[in-house]
Amino acid sequence: MRTILITLFLLAAGSAMSFAQCDKKVTLVSNKTEHLDANGNLKNADDEKTTIEFNNTDIAVTVSHDNGDGDKMTGKIHSNICNWQVPFKTGKTLLNITLNREDGQSRDFTVTIEGKDGKVTLWAESKEEPDDKIQLPIDKFEELK
């Protein structure tokens, strides 16, 4: 009986840790945007800073270009599946979102954030552009306070 209680306690503690970042507002920063074709081959890469901030319901994406121009998009998160074994390092988040540009255009995306072996990567895919999958190697991933 004691073994069962200890096992249940460890499982509960592990579950709480895996969701430790899932209900927080977080930020991700990447300094490179890679565009992949439908087969995952690199089409082109841009050296630009992308900052993504999100919580359970809202998301904001800011892209800063080398020439000083920038784009800002905001949107809603329709679904959020989050499971991180080691917060901000090992795990996965799957988001279904709608992003709205400042010019009024909107687009739906499926966003996957995955941490593996200490390396975090974000992929964004839109049904409207199946031949342009966006890949961001994440340089910074942390909770916003």
8 Å CB contact between 120 and 113: yes
pLDDT at 107 over 80: yes
pLDDT score for 20: 54
8 Å CB contact between 97 and 79: no
CATH number at residue 60: 2.40.128
Amino acid at 91: G
The tens digit of pLDDT for each residue in 123-133 reads 999 999 989 99
User: What is the spatial distance between Cα 48 and Cα 29, in angstroms, rounded to a whole number?
Assistant: 10
The tens digit of pLDDT for each residue in 48-106 reads 999 999 999 999 999 998 777 889 999 999 999 999 998 888 999 999 999 999 999 99
Structural domain boundaries, residue 6: 2-143
Domain count, the chain: 1
The tens digit of pLDDT for each residue in 12-48 reads 334 333 445 788 999 999 999 999 999 999 999 999 9
